[in-house]
């Protein structure tokens, strides 16, 4: 004899799980979550960085909020969004790892866009932890200054990729640089490494980004850069 009550429970249970899947079933919403993994953002800033209209970005954020993936709060005249919790980034990372392992097209797409990223060989988080004590190593955050202020690897310096040219004289050739940015598919660190190597500096990029570093429970700092 069927247990109707238990069947209804299962349907409702998996229906709740499916709400999360539906909220993630949009490339725009996944990008918004990745941006929010760097720190809180207003709708206006998210709209600009994702190249969505403010109305469209707001609609996507409402879907994410209804699914419990993001929170919002009023900051003066603006509404600021943030990830609802650290597990949201872990969910996005798990999705990324499954895609990397199961979709060969993803590897081809990344290679087509980034080229060969094995020269110079990337630095893993473990290697960076071991080498961070070496005063000759400079950890360079290539993200926008606002993201650095919201949180960065302890001891890192902020040199947004668009400011590398004007900051070059303050980056001595005798040091070695490890650049990082938003994550594996962010191009800021790649551009920073290319620029530094072109101008006679030893430079490599970290494999992961700041959200992965933070999620691993490694030392982070909050605050703006001091020039």
- Active-site positions read 181
Count of H-run helices and E-run strands, the chain? 11, 9
| CA-derived radius of gyration, the chain | 20
Edge-to-edge strand list for the sheet holding 157-158: 157-158, 137-141, 176-180, 202-205
Q: Which of 151, 208, 147, 200 is nearest to 177 (CA)?
A: 200
Distance of CA 92 to the CA centre of its chain: 10
Do 213 and 125 contact (CB within 8 A), yes or no?
A: yes
Of 50, 187, 180, whose CA–CA distance to 114 is shortest? Answer: 187
Closest among 146, 149, 182, 179 to 164, alpha carbons compared: 179
Residue bearing tokens 């960076």: 128
Sequence-ordered list of residues with C-beta below 8 angstroms from that of 215, at least 6 positions apart, any chain: 86, 89, 90, 93
């Amino acid at each position: 004899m069927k247990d109707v009550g238990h069947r209804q429970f299962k349907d409702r249970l998996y229906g709740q799980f499916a709400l999360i899947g539906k909220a993630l079933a949009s490339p725009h919403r996944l990008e918004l979550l990745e941006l929010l993994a760097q720190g809180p953002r207003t709708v206006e800033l998210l709209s600009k960085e994702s190249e969505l209209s403010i109305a469209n970005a707001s609609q996507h954020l409402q879907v994410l909020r209804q699914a419990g993936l993001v929170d919002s709060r009023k900051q003066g005249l603006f509404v600021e969004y943030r990830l609802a919790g650290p597990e949201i980034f872990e969910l996005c990372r798990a999705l990324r790892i499954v895609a990397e392992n199961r979709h060969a097209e993803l590897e081809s797409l990344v290679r087509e866009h980034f080229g060969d990223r094995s020269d110079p060989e990337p630095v893993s988080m473990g290697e960076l932890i071991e080498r961070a004590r070496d005063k000759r190593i400079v950890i360079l955050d290539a993200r926008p200054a606002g993201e650095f202020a919201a949180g960065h690897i302890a001891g890192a310096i902020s040199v947004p990729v668009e400011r590398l040219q004007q900051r070059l004289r303050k980056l001595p050739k005798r040091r070695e640089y490890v650049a990082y940015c938003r994550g594996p598919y962010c191009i800021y660190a790649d551009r920073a490494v290319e620029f530094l190597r072109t101008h006679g500096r030893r430079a490599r990029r970290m494999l992961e980004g700041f959200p992965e570093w933070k999620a691993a429970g490694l030392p982070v700092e909050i605050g703006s850069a001091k020039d």
